[in-house]
Amino acid sequence: MTYWNRRKKQQLLYVFIDILSSLLVWGCFLIFRWLVYDGRVFSIDSVLVPMFNFYTPLLTYPIGCLAIYYLSGYYLRPLRKPYLRELLRTFVSALIISFGAFFIFIIDDPVTQYERYFTSLLVLFALQFLGSYIPRWLVTYISHKLDNDTPRTYTIHTMKEVEQFEQAHAVEPYDEVILDFKSKTKENDIYTLINRLYPRNVEISVVPSLYDMLTGAAMIDEVSDQPLIHITEHKMSDTELCIKRAFDIIVSAAMLVLLSPLYLILTLLVWYSSKGPVFYRQERIGLHGLPFEIIKFRTMCVHAESEIPQLSADNDPRITKVGKWMRKYRLDELPQFWNILRGDMSIVGPRPERRYFINQIEEKAPYYCMIYKIRPGLTSWGPIKVGYTDTLDKMIRRLNYDIVYIENMSLTLDIKIMFHTIGVIFNGKGQ
């Protein structure tokens, strides 16, 4: 079983035990309330008609627990979990869940003695923390003992070992590749290698130079680990990444529903303005350097592009009148909320490009591969600062802005970019 399959299996195992533990916690909490507050241990009516809210939380409580655990980032890295980090993350999650359940379900109970509220909160927290942490710790402990969370690592020392790795990876996939070049290697060659490794779905790390270690670029995950620069590592924390993805799902689903009248109007406009399909689909390169199909409202005449891809200009005769207006306000991009909902894209992230132009960009900017670590986006600093890219130089300028975004990723920065994007749209500066 490959590392990624073990990772998926471990994720599902944690989710399963969290569902069971949340049901067990609420059941134990129910028994506590019956024994302490109802005082009717053997009375059937206290079981069928409890004096406090029970039946609704029986369904919603496990769902709420899973939501909090997901947003905490607990499921993002199911393998190689440090014990202390697991303890702290479970403790904070249990605290949030307990307070949430208290103010949603318990505070409306017909209790005359208010000190019972605080007792209920304390008992619920203790049950939630212990009920979730103990089975989690057991799964993590067994995984460590069985060595199921240790990735298969391949170290590349010279550029001449790359094909050897690809052949070995094809037989039995590796999970992590460490680039440890003892001799001087051209920077462009390193970026070329990273480009080849990204689609292999492996974690990529580089053994740092002395300069990298002195400037703080190298990171140490555990005390005994070798310092490495993790190329595929995100700047956001696990919690931020999960919140970002949850935000993408909620907003994209809401926009697809709320903007459905606008989608209908734009569909009719495109259909009446020129012959051809309403939507335009095109292959772009996204997360991990893998292709996906982006969807947009068609803004050009059918067969506007020959076999060789072409960039559009401000006064491009291929653009229809309706298409020019849609581009001005970026309305042609609205169908990409479907790409976001599917997981191909994010709301904020570097704009995806076609392979044909990526190959040209890499000749002047070989570090293009650095944007593969995150999902491409509907908007980012690049499109805001540069707009539509009709030249290769503009594409490189946009790339540089996107690299700056990736190196400074945060939820706060995402919010700022979204507000800037709204200003661009309402001012008609999309082109």
Tell me: do 101 and 206 sit in the same domain. no
Q: Are residues 219 and 249 in the same domain?
A: no
Residues 315, 217 share a domain: no
Return the structure tokens found at 257: 């529903």
Check whether residue 270 and residue 226 sit in a common domain. Answer: no
User: Does the pLDDT at position 45 exceed 50?
Assistant: no
* Confidence band for 96, pLDDT divided at 50, 70 and 90: very high
Query: 241-255, pLDDT tens digit by residue?
Result: 999 999 999 999 999
Q: Most confidently modeled of 69-78, 118-127, 158-167, 228-237?
A: 69-78
Residue 271 lies in a domain: yes
Mark whether 95 and 130 lie in a shared domain. yes
Q: Residue 156 has what pLDDT?
A: 87
Owning domain of residue 280: 238-426
Do residues 42 and 167 both lie within one domain?
no
**Do residues 346 and 376 make contact, with C-beta atoms less than 8 angstroms apart?**
yes
- Whether residues 67 and 135 fall in one domain: yes
Q: Which two tokens stand for residue 193?
A: 């290698």
Q: How many domains does the chain divide into? A: 3
Choose between 70 and 226: higher pLDDT: 70
Q: Are residues 373 and 277 in the same domain?
A: yes
Residue 191 falls within a domain, yes or no?
yes
Q: Is the predicted pLDDT of residue 280 greater than 80, yes or no?
A: yes
User: Secondary structure of the chain in the HEC alphabet?
Assistant: CCHHHHHHHHHHHHHHHHHHHHHHHHHHHHHHHHHHHHCCCCCHHHHHCCCCCCHHHHHHHHHHHHHHHHHCCCCCCCCCCCHHHHHHHHHHHHHHHHHHHHHHHHCCCCCCCCHHHHHHHHHHHHHHHHHHHHHHHHHHHHHHHCCCCCCCEEEECCHHHHHHHHHHHHHCCCCEEEECCCCCCCHHHHHHHHHHHHHHCCEEEECCCHHHHHCCCCECCCCCCCCEEECCCCCCCHHHHHHHHHHHHHHHHHHHHHCHHHHHHHHHHHHHHCCCCCEEEEEEECHHHCEEEEEEECCECCCCCCCCCCCCCCCCCCECHHHHHHHHCCHHHCCHHHHHHHCCCEEECCCCECHHHHHHHHHHCHHHHHHHHCCCEEECHHHHHHCCCCCHHHHHHHHHHHHHHHHCCCHHHHHHHHHHHHHHHHCCCCC
Among residues 145, 175, 206, which one ends one of the domains? Answer: 145
Mean pLDDT over 153-178 rounds to 85
Contacts of 412 (CB under 8 A, 6+ apart): none
Where does a domain end: 145, 179, 207? 145
Both 10 and 132 in a single domain?
Answer: yes
Prediction pTM value: 0.85
Q: From 180, 202, 230, give the residue that closes a domain.
A: 230
Residues 35 and 173 in one domain: no
Whether the pLDDT of residue 224 is over 50: the answer is: no
| Residues 136 and 157 both lie in one domain | no
